[in-house]
């Protein structure tokens, strides 16, 4: 795959100023009596990646569909470049790139026909060859969509999302089904778009992807934002852990300030906000007492722990809001 050759051209849009590219205020979405999105708010600025995380059914796609202009909110407001993506769809569409969770492109069309057809609906599309080269599909122009592999279809979806040089890009699980190499290429495409000033909102189940790409993350649970902040801030809401197995006859562990002992001997788990201090106390004690700490593991707080804590309904302390850029 090649990378984006040019950054998105600076065109005037519904709003060309310096404000947030995406503004979501108290968004609600309902299916009958069931409220899938329960009052979420966030902003995404030009040149920023915002990741919405959450377990299956947390409400990510339901929220994104409002940003994409495909559904109306049941409460709250969404603005893309200052305009309502549902009511002002015609104004927003030239500046918005969308990658749906599943696109359902007609299988009878070839890759080239698909891109050319899509390009005809856009005001300033990339050339077809460039769009396909971006996602590593040069040479697949004459292949019918139905004959593509799952990963190739995903890359074609992405080529279509980038085709109009969007100022706002909404990506619903962009790398699901991609092999590790293609995933990394998608990451670099997203980074290049961001360097050109595009604002990106994405969902993913790959926490590594969120850590790699996102400037800020919100973790949804049952339609509400459980945690929001920069990846490191979110991880820091959780304690670091030290795990080991004590041998028979080991003396009692020394008291270490700020350490919570979670497991019982012989399998011990320590939780701490200061991993270095805990290890500085533990290791000399083990050496002095001739204690071999079996299977010793020390792990810093992680985004995964924070994700699981929100998914489990734990109520971690939310990090203070990050200053907007
Ligand atoms: N058309 C619909 N009618 C009724 N309920 C729906 C509809 N679409 C979604 N839901 C429900 O709304 C909730 C949120 O679904 P949504 O697809 O937004 O979750 P998600 O976080 O995107 O999940 P996933 O990670 O599986 O894509 C789920 O309980 C789902 O069953």
For the chain, which residues make up each domain, given as ranges?
A: 22-234, 239-300
Measured from the CB, is residue 58 less than 6 Å from ligand 1?
Answer: yes
Task: Pick the more confident residue, 157 or 9.
Answer: 157
Instruction: Note the ipTM here.
Output: 0.97
Per-residue confidence band for 323, with pLDDT thresholds at 50, 70 and 90: very low
Q: Where are the alpha helices (DSSP H) in the chain?
A: 60-67, 89-92, 111-119, 128-134, 150-162, 180-195, 207-213, 231-235, 275-288, 303-311
pLDDT of residue 11: 54
- Answer yes or no: is pLDDT of 320 > 80: no
- Answer yes or no: is pLDDT of 10 > 70: no
Question: 218: helix, coil or strand?
Answer: strand
Instruction: Dump strand ranges (E) for the chain.
Output: 22-31, 34-44, 49-53, 75-80, 96-99, 168-172, 199-203, 216-221, 224-229, 240-245, 259-261, 267-272, 294-299
For residue 264, the CA-to-ligand 1 centroid distance in Å is 40
For residue 157, the CA-to-ligand 1 centroid distance in Å is 21
Which residue among 58, 176, 209 has the greatest number of ligand 1 atoms within 8 angstroms of its CB, and so is best to mutate? 58
Helix pair angle (111-119, 150-162), 10° resolution: 20
pLDDT of residue 50: 98
Measured from the CB, is residue 36 less than 6 Å from ligand 1?
Answer: yes
Are 201 and 44 in contact, with CB atoms under 8 Å apart? yes
Which residue among 32, 53, 55, 59 has the greatest number of ligand 1 atoms within 8 angstroms of its CB, and so is best to mutate? 59
Measured from the CB, is residue 56 less than 6 Å from ligand 1?
Answer: yes
Architecture of the domain defined by 22-234: 3-Layer(aba) Sandwich (3.40)
Contacts of 98 (CB under 8 A, 6+ apart): 68, 161, 169, 170
Per-residue confidence band for 313, with pLDDT thresholds at 50, 70 and 90: confident
Measured from the CB, is residue 40 less than 6 Å from ligand 1?
Answer: no
Measured from the CB, is residue 73 less than 6 Å from ligand 1?
Answer: no
Percent of the residues in the chain that have a pLDDT greater than 90, as a whole number:
73
For residue 143, the CA-to-ligand 1 centroid distance in Å is 33
For residue 36, the CA-to-ligand 1 centroid distance in Å is 7
Phi, psi of 178 (to 5 degrees): -90, 150
């Amino acid at each position: 795959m090649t990378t984006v050759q040019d950054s998105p051209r600076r065109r005037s849009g519904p709003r060309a100023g310096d404000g947030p590219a995406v503004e979501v205020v108290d968004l609600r979405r309902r299916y009958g009596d069931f409220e899938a999105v329960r009052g979420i708010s966030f902003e995404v600025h030009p040149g920023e990646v915002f990741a919405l995380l959450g377990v299956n059914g947390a409400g990510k796609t339901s929220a994104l569909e409002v940003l994409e202009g495909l559904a109306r909110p049941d409460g709250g407001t969404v603005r893309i470049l200052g305009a309502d993506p549902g009511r002002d769809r015609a104004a927003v569409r030239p500046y918005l790139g969308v990658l749906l969770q599943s696109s359902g492109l007609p299988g009878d069309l070839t890759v080239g026909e698909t891109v050319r057809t899509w390009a005809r609906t856009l005001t300033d599309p990339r050339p077809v060859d460039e769009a396909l080269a971006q996602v590593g599909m040069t040479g697949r122009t004459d292949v019918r969509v139905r004959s593509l592999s799952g990963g190739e279809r995903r890359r074609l979806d992405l080529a279509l999302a980038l085709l109009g040089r969007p100022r706002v890009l909404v990506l619903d699980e962009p790398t699901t089904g991609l092999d590790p190499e293609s995933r990394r290429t998608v990451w670099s495409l997203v980074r290049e778009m961001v360097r050109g000033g595009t604002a990106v909102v994405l969902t993913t189940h790959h926490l590594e992807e969120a850590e790699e790409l996102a400037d800020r993350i919100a973790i949804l649970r049952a339609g509400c934002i459980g945690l929001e902040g920069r990846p490191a801030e979110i991880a820091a809401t959780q304690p670091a852990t030290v795990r080991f197995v004590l041998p028979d006859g080991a003396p009692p562990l020394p008291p270490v300030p700020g350490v919570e002992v979670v497991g019982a001997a012989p399998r011990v788990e320590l939780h701490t906000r200061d991993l270095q201090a805990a290890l500085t106390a533990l290791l000399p004690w083990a050496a002095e007492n001739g204690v071999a700490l079996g299977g010793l593991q020390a792990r810093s707080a992680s985004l995964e722990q924070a994700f699981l804590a929100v998914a489990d309904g734990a109520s971690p302390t939310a990090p203070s809001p990050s200053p907007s850029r």
